[in-house]
Structure 1
Amino acid sequence: MFEVNKTIEEINEKIKKGEAVVVNAEEMIDIVEKEGFVGAAKKVDVVTTGTFGTMCSSGALINFGHTSPKIKASKVWLNDVEAYGAIAAVDCYLGATAVKEGDPLNAVHPGRFEYGGGHVIEDLIARKPVKLIAEGYTTDCYPAKHIEMEITIDDLRQATLMSPRNAYQNYSVAVNSTGKTIYTYMGVLKPNFANATYSSSGQLSPLLNDPFYLTIGIGTRIFLGGGVGYVIYHGTQHNPDEERNKRGVPKTGAGAIAVMGDMKQMNPDFVKGASILGYGASLSIGVGIPIPILNEEMAFFTSVRDEEIDAYIFDYGHDYPLKIDNNYGLTNYKELRSGFITVNGKKVPTAPLSSYVGAMKVAETLKQWIMDKKFYLTRPSMNLPTSKDYKPLKYLKQYEKGL
């Protein structure tokens, strides 16, 4: 079927011998233009991808070890940010969007800084001291009611970044047609189409370079937050049936991955707590996935350009999230990265919530790891689903009426 046929095992052997040709996704575009799909597939073994942006559905699974006397910690706080403690005696899950008690969640006090779970995760990875408070009811085997101490990540038994939804395949562009400023997870949207925001690294983005998940699945080894991580499942809200263009690229979110990795190996350069005005806290993470060039089909997919990646423009002032069938048409990432798009006949400035520079740093770091024989590819034990088997919830009538 294909003129070029390689296996992951063969590519790993080339990596081991220092013979593998590794390029980032931006470089692959030029190689395919010069060599064609078959020529590029013969020449290139691995294409590295990257994305670095806010990923609200992130968090950390933490085990802080037994104290003396022991405690069954049902409530836990880290730097006054509450974590979910009802897992086991000294396990907790800290969500990136949890906010420090007393910090605002709206724009009433725009001068105040919002500190949340994402910032705690960054502080831990940066090996800064963090205040731990835990409370629990007493039992014969867990007699303590309260503990309070200062810890660093090195004091923890385990600290695992475990995110149910990261690295969205694509995302919509946000605008606001109303007469007032609105505050969203897509940032501050000014009135009357005064700005537009977007969140993807486009041609560098991992799932846009493997749009049908031919090489990405459960068990895929990835770059995660400056360390090594793994895809552990398809992400929550994974929706692969979304409309796609001739390149196979979806025009909205579509795919997503659930990921896991050891925070003790991570680098704070690639994990940043975020504060989004009027919305709350989040976490920006660098995620990179190596794409093995097994054949010319993968060369085709990994040479996708920004201008071939479409995204719908949605009005967050009126239509989102209740009427997502109403939109202001399509734009593409070349237009978005130019700094302006046209919406409803108006020239609108654009701003990213993700960093292309950061995404390139992820892709280049991963590329160097492979070339230095520090990172090898894995064959997924199961590929991500390419179809969905669920129905969306129906909206409540009062919301359909706009109440």
Structure 2
Amino acid sequence: MRIRSIEEINKKIKKGDATVLTAEEVSLLVREGNSPKAEDVDVVTTGTCGIMSGTAAILHVPVADPGAFKKAKNILLNGIPGFPGPCPNEWLGSVDLIIYGTAHSIYDSGYGGGFLFKDIVGGNEIEVEVESTEGEIFKSTTSIKDIGTAQMIGTRLAFKNYNSFTNPSEEVVSSIFHAIDMEGPFKGLSVSGCGQLNPLQNDPVMRSICSGSKILLNASEGIVIGRGTRSSNEKPNLMLTADMKDMDPHYLGGFKTGAGPEVFDSVAAAIPILDQSTLEQTFILNKDIVLPVTDIRGRHKVLGSTDYGEVWEGSDERPVYHPENCLNCETCIVRERCPTGAYTNILNTQRCFGCGMCAYSCPNNAFTMESGSVRFDVDDKSIGMPIICRQSDIKRARELTAELKRKIENGKFILNSCFE
């Protein structure tokens, strides 16, 4: 039975009277044996942060004076190739382009689209290089304040279901699903997904988080365009868009993998509680969410399963750096492997992703972090191994989920009516 309408919830939001809980706050109540009632909760906020390969940016970039060239044939931003068009912008001296978060710099193999997007959103100066259709080369610099349009689109973000990955073979495997080449057999597990906090875990049939819903994408207010590519009823995901000029660089960036740099984003979504069944969809616990363990050589080969309780319960959000243990190795393996470049001679906690690679890699125990371990059965054998790489960041997910909660409580995020 319906308790209230979207309009009624919005009236309470505008008055500052809405009761808002994060999905983890709901899960805590359930774990403690409580059963929240729909009449007591107006909105539940959810969130996730992790590698989201389907991220692209649509940009309008100034290059040269009007009339300097007819059209752009090729364009590089900080060495990363973009795709000029679709609008040709003849003789305007500026270029419309699309650039992928998974694109790699032609000059620096460790720099990719995710790092570029963070630099753009952060207001850093961007080097522009254009080859015109006549073969002329034009070089300039730009920044977010000069870029006319900077719209991010995510074609496949915030999956409900994820897999985890291990290498059961003797051979080393390069993959986007691990921060470095993965050794085997069964040396460790790489995981993704924010479990009970994840938006579509709390709305698995996309009843509330649907086409037209407002969301936060990297802290910028955006909307759900619809289902993402490869979305299915069993494994739904979202297509999203938001203005990069309103984004916070803390919530996005690059993440180096064994197969080159990737891009990570943060997404938060609100679930209006219209009835008891909607609220009860959020009564989920990490231990009850199955996480398949798959072969990194082929994601469809399922070896066993674990759950998100093993991933997130009792684990640390961030590593602890112990500089007294650092031996200043000539080649620092942590510096080489850190996916976000958070470690130089100090640990930059703002850039840190909480992936765990530093604690796994340092031979001198200069970093410690509880990242969990799993045990599952393969061919009638019990296999135990540590979680060595987390490609989702629970800390950023929690921060953005809490930020959305504050916006709603303060009347700064009004829900829209796209619901049944």
Which TM-score bucket, shorter chain as reference? 0.7 to 0.9
**Structure 1 CA distance, aligned partners of 2:153 and 2:302?**
34
Matches within 5 A, 1:355-366: 355-366=393-404
Conservation of the 8 A alpha-carbon contact between 1:32 and 1:40: no
Deviations 1:7-57 (A, max 9, x none): 1111111000110001110101234567855x4211111111110111111
Match of 2:295 among 315, 336, 343: 315
Task: Name which of 356, 370, 375 aligns with 1:342.
Answer: 375
Gaps in structure 1 of 5+ consecutive residues: 105-113, 139-143, 243-253, 384-403
Q: How big is each residue's C-alpha offset from its partner over 1:108-134, in whole Å with a ceiling of 9 and x where there is no partner?
A: xxxxxx101111111000000001112
Task: Read off the aligned partner of 1:58 and give its amino acid letter.
Answer: T
| Partners of 1:74 and 1:86 within 8 A in 2 | no
The normalised TM-score by structure 2 is 0.79
**What is the aligned-residue RMSD (CA, Å)?**
1.9
* Alignment partner of 1:258 is 2:239: yes
1:237 partnered with 2:230? yes
Matches within 5 A, 1:177-188: 177-187=168-178, 188=180
Instruction: Say which is worse superposed, 337-346 or 211-220, in terms of deviation.
Output: 337-346
Unaligned runs of 5+ in 2: 89-94, 314-371
Q: Hey, what does 1:29 align to over in structure 2? A: 27
Are positions 1:61 and 2:39 aligned together? no
AA matched with 2:128: L
* Preserved contact between residue 31 and residue 285 of structure 2 (Cα < 8 Å): no
Question: Could you say which residue in structure 2 is the equivalent of 1:107?
Answer: none
Q: What is the match of residue 20 of structure 1? A: 18
How far apart are residue 201 of structure 1 and its match? 0.4
Q: Which amino acid aligns with 1:163?
A: G
Residue 145 of structure 1, CA deviation: 4.3
**TM-score, scaled relative to structure 1:** 0.82
CA distance in 2, matches of 1:367, 1:156: 31
Alignment partners' CA distance in 2, 1:35 and 1:214: 26
Segment of structure 1 superposing worse, 200-209 or 296-305? 296-305
**Paired residues of 1:73 and 1:88 also in contact (CA < 8 A):** no
Aligned to 1:249: none
What amino acid is the match of 2:245? Answer: K
Does 1:78 find its partner at 2:69?
A: no
| Partner secondary structure for residue 147 of structure 1 | strand
- 1:354 and 2:392 are equivalent in the alignment: yes
8 A contact 2:62–2:142 mirrored in 1: no
Counting matched residue pairs gives 347
Alpha-carbon deviation of 1:147? 2.5
Name the aligned partner's letter for residue 115 of structure 2: H
| 1:102 Cα deviation from its structure 2 partner | 3.9
Q: Secondary structure at the match of 2:102?
A: coil
Which residues in structure 2 correspond to 1:4-403 (within 5 Å)? 4-32=2-30, 37=35, 39-65=36-62, 67-69=65-67, 71-89=70-88, 90-104=95-109, 114-137=110-133, 145-187=136-178, 188=180, 189-240=182-233, 242=234, 254-276=235-257, 278-317=258-297, 320-321=298-299, 324=300, 326-337=301-312, 339-343=372-376, 344=378, 345-350=382-387, 351-380=389-418
Q: 1:204-247: per-residue Cα shift (whole Å, max 9, x none)?
A: 0011110011111111110111211111121111021x3xxxxx
Query: Retained in 2: the 8 A contact 1:96–1:283?
Result: yes
Percentage of pairs with the same residue: 29
Give, in whole Å, the separation in 2 of the partners of 1:215 and 1:65: 40
> Distance in 1 between the 2:38 and 2:49 partners?
27
1:348-382 C-alpha deviation (Å, 9 max, x unpaired)? 1113210111110010011111111111112227x
Cα-to-partner distance string for 1:269-302 (whole Å, 9 max, x where unaligned):
11112221x3112111110001111111111111
Q: Once structures 1 and 2 are overlaid, which stretch shifts more, 63-72 or 85-94?
A: 63-72
The 1:295/1:32 distance shift into structure 2, 3 A limit, reads farther
Q: Secondary structure at the match of 1:237?
A: coil
Partner in structure 2 of residue 248 of structure 1: none
C-alpha contact (below 8 Å) 2:54/2:156 kept by paired residues: yes
Q: Could you tell me how far apart the structure 1 residues matched to 2:395 and 2:191 are?
A: 15
The amino acid of 1:77's aligned partner reads L
